[in-house]
Each structure stands twice: as structure tokens, then as C-alpha cells.
Chains A and B, each alone.
Chain A
Amino acid sequence: MTAKKVRVGFFDFTGCEGCQLAKVSMENELPQILEHIEIVNFREAMSEKSWDMDVAFIEGSITTPACVERINRIRQAAPILVTLGACSTIGGINAIRVGRDLDEIRQEVYGDKRYLFPSLPVMPVSAVVKVDASIYGCPPNPKDVARFLTQFLAGKIPQAPKYPVCIECKLQGNACLLVQGIPCMGVVTRAGCGAWCPSKGQFCYGCRGLIPDANLDALRISFEECGLSQQEIDNKLHLFSGRELEKLS
């Protein structure tokens, strides 16, 4: 279509920047995507930047007072704000520190220079500003990113699935890992990845976060039967969903 290109900015907060790299590595799709969008702000891939944009994609979670200030500035500049990846969408791996004392963590990381590094409890972007849509996953699945972009460019606000990974796992014809005693998080984890990990025999890490009304009591029983200790179960649950669990408790 010949419509005006959508002006897009990419912004990184606290995260590994893997989401942005995952996007840059969509080599086959990028030329076609760039027919429709113009990237005006992307630290990872350009030096000239603009704040005049239609959409902001946010990667990384909110962890410092400076993050809060910056995300508010982006929100004011961007008519549409989309979170990209687990950290910005659900808090992500950074949320493993949920439930621990912040001063203790600052001491552990920065030592006696900790007073130079103010810190906040880890938050997904939606805890600070309004989020219009989200791309889940650590990292986001390129197919899912393409699905999001095409729907978005067609004028829809794309919705992520609310059902668990099992649906996509069974579409692939996979035998259930959890039934085989392998502690797979797929039963409580939001789909959309196409059962990326379990289709390769690797249990789901839960990187897309919990489905609404996830049956965590049943999950604990299943994981115990897999031979996991309470601590190991907690660790698995908190790996990506620390923030969501905090909300539930």
C-alpha cells in the first residue's frame, strides 16, 4: 500500500537489549517491513534520532527514577506505545529481585558506591504509563513480531493469546513434557511463541508470563511430582513472573 510510512521509535530500558537485536536479526523480513515504517529513533542501530513519531516500542523494565522520567517523556511524545519483550511487558527476568530488600541488592551489585545508584522495585512499563499493546516473550518470536506488525499496520490493535502454550504445543503434535515428569511451565504460560521451546524438547521457561487465572496450586503439585523442592518451584515461577506473582499475592 502506498500510505505514508509509520514513524517508529525504539527505546531501551533495563534489559539485555536482546529484543532489539532479535529485531535487527529479522534480515529476511526487514526490507519488507521498512517499506511501511520509518525508524526515527533506535539507539541500537542509528545515531540520528527524532522525537516526532507515531509509535514507540519500549524494551526493558522500569527500575530507576530516571527510567520513570524517561518513559513519561516518551509517552508524551508517542501517540501509541507498545511494549516489546518480557521485561517491558511483565517485568521479565529483572523481577527475580521482587521480594528482596533493595538496599541489600544495591550493596551486592554496587558495593560502597551504592548511594550513586538509586533503585526502584522492578516494574513493567504498564505500572507507570498507559500501554496500548504488547509483544510478549524473551526474546519475542520473529513470527509473532511479524504478526503484530501486519495487524498493527492494517489498523488493528493486536491482541496476544490468553490461552496457554499447550494449545500451540498440541497443534505441533508434541507429547506433553509435564506428563513425562519434565517441569514445563507451558500449562500456565501465555501462548504466542508457537511452543518454541517444548517443540525442541526443552521445557517452557514461562517467558511470556502467566495466563489469566493460571492454576498455580495445581502447578506446584505437578512440579513436586517432578521432584522439585519448594525453593526450586519458587525459582521457576519467579524467573519471569515475579511481578505478576506479587500482584496475585
Chain B
Amino acid sequence: MKRRGLLSQKAPLFIRHLMNKGQVYGPVKNKTQMPEFAQVDEPSRVVLDYTTTVLPPKRLFQPPEETIYHFSRKDFTVEPAKVSGDGLKILVGLHNYDAEGIACLDYQMARGPADEGWAARRRNWVFVGVSYEPDQHHFSPSVGIGPDHRNGLDLFMDKADGGYNVELLTERGASLLDGFGGWSAPLPETPAPKFHNRLLPMPSDLPHILARSYEHPIWQQEAKRCFSCGSCTMVCPTCYCFDVFDELQLDMESGEKKRHWDSCQVAPFTEVAGGEIFRKETSSRVRHRIYRKFKYITDHYGRPFCIGCGRCIRACPAKISISEVMNNLARKAAG
């Protein structure tokens, strides 16, 4: 594999170079100084050294709220919402687990009738990964996404002494580098990052552990502290559920059919006509989320539908940890 050195002070120049090739997106500081995936207007605003973002990059392909179509109650017309152009888009500063999260949703969104919004927004992207220093919650290697994992990435900026070693992973990625003269010789490598959180079972054992844990008391125990606030699923890179609603303009003639992210963790998610709620108990919702990550979809996807980013753990006001739940179940199954 080809590698090129890039000194830290040259990184903004490199991003500027990419901005001449296409629209660049990446982790940029938002109003609260937190990195958030958004379009880059100024290379110096890109944060390449970050722990994680609150919302995963899926927000670029399935926005938190979007218009599906515009309608008119006056002349009974429907106009599908436009998804921005087909030009080249470059996502820089992607952690390798987030690339896997996007791959998970590429799979799921294409099953059955394909999600048109997702498909349209996913066209023409190049992914430029970057290495990261895990905090106490990341457990990606436990779901098969170790520091050397490069799946789904076209270029990778591996943090090295004094900068990055840029790895050329695909033709598409390599072609983006044409015309950039800011390279150095490959830089001295830094030690592989240490992970502080992990799953005890092998990834392939996770569905089997859940298969015999449906009635386990752990779901009741976790439910005692769960707020059913939905934060875990809202920040999850592989969750995709949404709610559809109409928004009328005050002229009472024009309006929009919209959707926004929804969460299986809130009670009204499963409320149907007549007021029946079929996952009424908090414990059944807590369990459902974890089965969605390690069993239901895993059974046909062939690998965990969790990428070990730890976002749900960081976002949980009740300190519920998906890795701790799985480890407790594994210990009890083994004991």
C-alpha cells in the first residue's frame, strides 16, 4: 500500500486541496465548540483530532429532519423534495468505525423498497479516514473494527509523529491527490492506540448469547434506571427509524410531508390506532435496542449491527452501557 507523509501544519493545505476537487464535509466545530459532521467552509475549522461526535455521520445521508415532498391543498399537486446535486463530495476526518456504520445503513436502507433519500444522498462520496485516540467507551475492536480496519475508506490519515501518514486505499482516493505538492517522506509511526472498553464475547457469539437471554432479569434491572429518553438511538450510527408528519404553511394551502428521526426507546413509538402500545414496558424497549444491535439484523447481516463507537454510552443520562449489558449477559451465560 502506498503511503505519503503529511506534516500537521500542512493538513489545512491538504483540506484546501480537497475543496478544489469537490464539496468537503467533516467534523467542524459547531456553536458549542463541539465537532459535528457538516460542510467545511474553512479548512482550519476541521477538527481532525477528536474523540467522537454527538451525532454520527449518518446525519449527512439521513438528516435529523427532512422534507420528503411538498404538496398543495389548492391544486392537489405533489412535488418531491430535491436532494442536492451529484457533484463529488468528500468526507474527511471519518473514524474507521463510522465508515462501518455507514456501510451498515447502506445494507439496511437497500433492503426491501430502497430508501430513496438515503440512496440519493449517498451518491458520489469519497471517504477520507483518520485515526483516533479511544476514550473509556470505544470498543470497536470487539466488533471487528480494530485500529488497522480500513473497510469503506478511500484514503486514511494515520496519525504519526509530527503529522499523518496518508494511505492510498483506492484508485478513487488516490486520484484526489493529483496536483498536491505538500507531501513529506513517511513519518515515524506512533504506537497503536489502547482501548479501555471491550466486549468479552467474540462477535460471532453475541447473537447466541442474546438468543438465550430474552427472559433474563437484566432487562428489568436496566429498565429501573432507564428514562426512555431515546438519546441512545438518536446518536446511534446504525439506527434509522423515523416518524412522518405533515407541516402546513399558515396560508393553509401549501405544506410539506416531512420525517424526523424517531426512537424505539420512547413509549409512543409503538402506539397504534386505538391507543394500544405493544412495547409498553420499559424493559421490553431496553431489550429491543440491544437485540437490534446484536441479534435481529446481525442474523442476516452476518456481523454485529453495532460499531463500538460508544456514542450511546456517552449520551445516556442513566449511564446504561451496551458493552456492560452484553458483558454481564456473557458472564452469566458462562457461569
Contact = CB atoms under 8 A, between A and B. Distances in A.
A217 B224 CA distance: 8
Contacts of B74: 1
B159 to A, nearest CB: 24
A151 B246 CA distance: 9
Given A36-B252, A176-B315, A164 B227 contact: yes
Contacts of A179: 314-317
A111 interface: no
B321 interface: no
A50 to B, nearest CB: 24
Interface stretch (B146-154, B211-219, B261-269): B261-269
Interface string B55-67: 1000100001100
B67 to A, nearest CB: 15
Given A36-B252, A163-B263, A221-B225, A173 B230 contact: no
A96 interface: no
A53 interface: no
Interface string B204-242: 000000000000000000001111111100110000000
A58 interface: no
Contacts of B282: 213, 215
Interface in A153-204: 153-154, 161-164, 166-167, 169-176, 178-179, 186-188, 201
A167 B252 contact: no
A80 to B, nearest CB: 17
Interface string B246-275: 111111110100001111001111010000
Contacts of B200: none
Overall SS of chain B's interface: loop
Nearest to B316: A179
Contacts of A36: 250, 252
A170 B236 CA distance: 11
B32 A171 contact: no
Contact of B64 (A32, A163, A171): A171
B135 to A, nearest CB: 13
A114 to B, nearest CB: 42
Given A218-B318, A222-B317, A222-B318, A166 B225 contact: no
A149 B247 CA distance: 11
Contact of A154 (B54, B227, B248): B248
A32 B282 CA distance: 43
Nearest to A175: B54
Contacts of A29: 250
B156 to A, nearest CB: 26
Q: What class of interface size applies to chain A in its complex with B?
A: 35 or more
B74 to A, nearest CB: 8
Interface residues of B, number: 45
A22 interface: no
A233 interface: no
Interface string A1-44: 10000000000000000000000000001001101100000000
A150 interface: yes
Given A162-B268, A175-B34, A187 B227 contact: yes
Contact of B253 (A1, A186, A211): A1
B225 A167 contact: no
Contact of B260 (A164, A171, A214): A171
Given A170-B230, A173-B36, A146 B225 contact: no
Interface string A131-164: 0000000000000001101110110000001111
A164 B248 CA distance: 24
Contacts of A169: 231
B265 to A, nearest CB: 9
A150 B252 contact: yes
Given A166-B231, A179-B316, A221-B225, A173 B59 contact: yes
B226 A215 contact: yes
B123 interface: no
Contacts of B55: 170, 173
A154 B34 CA distance: 41
A219 interface: yes
Nearest to B262: A167
B285 to A, nearest CB: 11
Given A147-B247, A153-B248, A171-B234, 8 more contacts: A163-B268, A167-B266, A170-B64, A170-B315, A187-B229, A218-B226, A222-B317, A222-B318
10 smallest beta-carbon distances between A and B, as pairs:
A170-B234, A150-B248, A166-B229, A163-B266, A32-B250, A178-B317, A187-B227, A171-B64, A162-B268, A173-B55
19 contacts: A1-B73, A150-B252, A150-B255, A153-B248, A162-B271, A164-B228, A167-B261, A170-B54, A170-B64, A170-B230, A171-B64, A174-B54, A175-B54, A179-B315, A187-B229, A213-B282, A218-B225, A222-B317, A222-B318
